[in-house]
């Protein structure tokens, strides 16, 4: 499917591009090639193929929450710069 020079210039204007004469000729050929590929795809009979959005299964992949053994507070705060009452303490950054 051939695309005209005017169509390439129109597309360039819509995209806010300024093209040289050589670029217009180049894109004329490239756009025509792309449209030819699309026309070939339109001719494929896909009537027996189910449409899909993605190939992942529709099963829920979220795991169930399970209670487990927690770290003791002392071990969990081992790398904290400062501790107050089994909690990490950080310097105040914003004044009231």
- Give me the sign of the Cα torsion angle 69, 74, 75, 77: positive
pLDDT tens-digit series, residues 57-71: 667 778 788 899 999
CA distance 30 to 24: 10
**What domains can be seen in the chain, in order of their start residue?**
5-42 (1.10.20)
Contact 32, 2 (CB under 8 A): yes
Quick one: tokens of 90? 């950080």
The H-assigned helical ranges of the chain are: 5-15, 21-42, 73-76
pLDDT score for 16? 95
pLDDT score for 54? 65
pLDDT score for 63? 79
| Percent of the chain at pLDDT exceeding 70 | 91
Which residues of the chain are modeled with pLDDT < 70?
53-58, 96
pLDDT score for 33? 95
């Amino acid at each position: 499917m051939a695309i005209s020079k005017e169509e390439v210039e129109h597309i360039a204007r819509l995209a806010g591009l300024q093209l040289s004469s050589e670029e217009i000729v180049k894109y004329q050929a490239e756009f025509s090639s792309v449209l030819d590929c699309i026309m070939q795809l339109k001719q494929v009979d896909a009537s027996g193929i189910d449409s899909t959005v993605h190939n992942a299964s529709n099963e829920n992949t979220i795991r169930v929450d399970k209670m487990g053994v927690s770290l003791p507070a002392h071990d969990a705060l081992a790398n904290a710069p400062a501790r107050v009452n089994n909690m990490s303490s950080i310097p105040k950054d914003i004044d009231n």
